[in-house]
């Protein structure tokens, strides 16, 4: 645990059973009330680590409100466990829809089941629902979820935080922007080392283009202190943004070449397999393959929505052809 700014502490929660090694929630400590930004997986170990670090900081959950940047379970998994009579659990309104869906039977999680079909992943290679991280670590029933709108402001520890749109990695990811000190808590929008995937949440929106626009937003805000939920503070922000944009462009060009060189229809699963060696792709766990294929689907959808490819939906599977 480190104090990164006055009254702002970076916590450190480690994971087991997840592809990521852990998460870095942030606590903004106030005199009367504090704010915890992000949680962790819904496990006893994560809860124990969280409570121990909050205790060291001398804050109780009754006086600590909690907010999550998006609905991935490494960010929202502990929400129900951290709820107390005296605190508020915040989520941006669109994000709250996904979090509340976790309370339904898994068979009703349309965003998950549809995505598996859209990518064209064969049933024998697809992740089984009980093994998907969202199913294994979701937060369960959360009572009294407080819903925020984009533009809303929160005040803790001398900081004025504005809820801003950072969608792309998920359909409704948010950031918390402190304009006076030029501080941005960005969730998984921009990371210091790894590259966040882009998930396809519906077939109408261009999530790759949304993600790019929100990358440019980070530079337009002239952020001085960028705090991601994984890894450490990003020092040279323009350089890191441009690195991401270059990676996105290179990947888009590679997927476009696969489509142009194909003799027939291409699914996201097929295109993902062609980007790896067959041996490497086959060795991916079904859970990781789900994220890889969904990410490639976002690029193919971008090509279709921008008129560079044609998409045909057949029996729930998206098939792509190059434009002739």
Share the mean pLDDT of the chain: 93
Identify whether 112 is part of a domain. Answer: yes
Task: Give percent of the chain with pLDDT exceeding 70.
Answer: 98
Give the C-alpha distances (Å, rounded to integers) separating 33 from 57, 86, 269: 13, 10, 47
Indicate the number of domains in the chain: 1
Angular region, 305: left φ>0, alpha ψ -120 to 50, beta rest: alpha
111-142 burial code (b ≥16 CB/10 A, e <16): bbeebbebbbbeeeebbeeeebbbbbbbbeeb
Identify whether 247 is part of a domain. Answer: no
Identify whether 89 is part of a domain. Answer: yes
Checking if the pLDDT of 210 tops 90, the result is yes
Structure confidence at residue 18 (pLDDT): 66
Identify whether 298 is part of a domain. Answer: no
Residue 88: domain span: 2-235
Checking if the pLDDT of 19 tops 80, the result is no
38-64 per-position pLDDT tens digit: 999 999 999 999 999 999 999 999 999
Structure confidence at residue 283 (pLDDT): 85
CATH number at residue 204: 3.60.15.10
């Amino acid at each position: 645990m480190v104090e990164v700014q006055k009254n702002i502490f970076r916590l450190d929660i480690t994971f087991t059973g997840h592809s990521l090694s852990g998460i870095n929630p942030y606590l903004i400590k106030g005199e009367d009330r504090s704010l915890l930004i992000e949680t962790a997986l819904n496990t006893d170990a994560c809860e124990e680590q969280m409570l121990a670090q909050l205790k060291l900081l001398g804050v109780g959950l009754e006086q600590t409100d909690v907010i999550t940047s998006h609905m991935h379970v490494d960010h929202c998994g502990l929400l129900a466990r951290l709820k107390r009579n005296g605190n508020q659990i915040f989520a941006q309104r669109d994000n709250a829809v996904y979090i509340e869906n976790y309370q339904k039977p898994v068979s009703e999680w349309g965003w998950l089941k549809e995505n598996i079909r859209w990518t064209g992943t064969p049933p024998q290679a697809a992740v089984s629902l009980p093994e998907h991280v969202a199913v294994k670590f979701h937060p369960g029933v959360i009572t009294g979820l407080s819903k925020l709108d984009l533009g809303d402001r929160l005040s803790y520890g001398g900081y004025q935080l504005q809820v801003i749109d950072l969608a792309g990695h998920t359909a409704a990811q948010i950031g918390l922007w402190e304009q006076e000190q030029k501080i941005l808590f960005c969730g998984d929008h921009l990371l210091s080392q790894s590259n966040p995937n882009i998930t396809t949440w519906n077939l109408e929106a261009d999530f790759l283009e949304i993600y790019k626009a929100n990358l440019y937003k980070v530079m337009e805000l002239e952020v001085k202190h960028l705090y991601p939920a994984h890894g450490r503070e990003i020092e040279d922000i323009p350089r890191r943004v441009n690195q991401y944009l270059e990676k996105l462009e290179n990947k888009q060009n590679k997927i476009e070449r696969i489509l142009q060189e194909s003799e027939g229809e291409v699914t996201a699963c097929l295109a993902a397999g062609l980007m790896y060696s067959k041996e490497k792709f086959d060795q991916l766990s079904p859970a990781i393959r789900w994220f890889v294929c969904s990410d490639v689907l976002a690029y193919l959808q971008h090509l279709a929505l921008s008129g560079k490819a044609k998409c045909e939906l057949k029996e729930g599977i998206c098939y792509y052809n190059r434009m002739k």
